[in-house]
Chain A
Amino acid sequence: GQNIDQPTEMTATEGAIVQINCTYQTSGFNGLFWYQQHAGEAPTFLSYNVLDGLEEKGRFSSFLSRSKGYSYLLLKELQMKDSASYLCAVRDNMNRDDKIIFGKGTRLHILP
């Protein structure tokens, strides 16, 4: 089975840096995603990590440690528009079913 854990809610200040952690347990790990989702909208892709290490993309960076079953999403220079839910998702290809399983998401509140 799969188990993905991330904090339910976080609060940060505009202009600051925030790190959202995610731990996972899965049978057939084949990569980890981070998605952003605004209320009432579909998720939008932020990053994908399949190898250990840090992937940087503008203000967003994502880190993966496969041995620890751990990832984080780092958001820099926070803006008000970054207020959203951030979903950690694992690509699981056990039983030849290649599918993406989502964690419960972290609601990030940005304060002015």
Chain B
Amino acid sequence: GAVVSQHPSWVICKSGTSVKIECRSLDFQATTMFWYRQFPKQSLMLMATSNEGSKATYEQGVEKDKFLINHASLTLSTLTVTSAHPEDSSFYICSARDLLAGVTYEQYFGPGTRLTVT
């Protein structure tokens, strides 16, 4: 089955620093990747849609200058949380669609990255 990995799986950083999270599709190519954020006991909130070779589309209320997304290849998208603050502490999950699967509905989710900002 399609596998999506994320790195790191967890990270602790100090307030004001930046953190980069990688999302990789391991055995398929993904033109589109999605970044979600999930606070404790809440559902996944879509932050942005990342398209290979073009700018990401951000959801309303998500600061594009704070959450930088780069989708430089068909297997890698990165999310950089800039000038992190404690309120950015959350579970960040990416997902990807398989380009070669044709018209497909399924998104494959990565295992998530737990970010704690102190």
* Interface residues in chain A, defined as those with a beta carbon under 8 Å from any beta carbon in chain B: 31, 33, 40-45, 48, 50, 85, 87, 91, 97-105, 107
Contacts and interface: CB of A to CB of B under 8 A. Distances in A.
Interface string B89-118: 001010100000000011101111010000
A43 B43 CA distance: 10
Interface string B32-47: 1010100001111110
Contacts of A98: 32
Nearest to A105: B43
10 contacts: A40-B91, A42-B109, A45-B106, A85-B43, A98-B32, A99-B49, A100-B46, A102-B44, A102-B46, A105-B43
Q: Interface SS of chain B: helix, strand, loop or mixed?
A: strand
A41 B46 contact: no
B59 to A, nearest CB: 9
Interface residues of B, number: 22
B56 to A, nearest CB: 11
B83 interface: no
Interface of B: 32, 34, 36, 41-46, 49, 57, 91, 93, 95, 105-107, 109-112, 114
Contacts of A100: 34, 46, 95, 107
B46 A99 contact: yes
Given A99-B34, A99-B49, A103-B43, A42 B106 contact: no
Contacts of B44: 43, 87, 102
Contact of B46 (A42, A44, A87, A101): A101
A48 B105 contact: yes
Nearest to B60: A1
A50 B103 CA distance: 13
Contact of B93 (A42, A50, A105, A107): A42
B112 A42 contact: yes
Contacts of B110: 42
A104 B43 contact: yes
B42 A31 contact: no
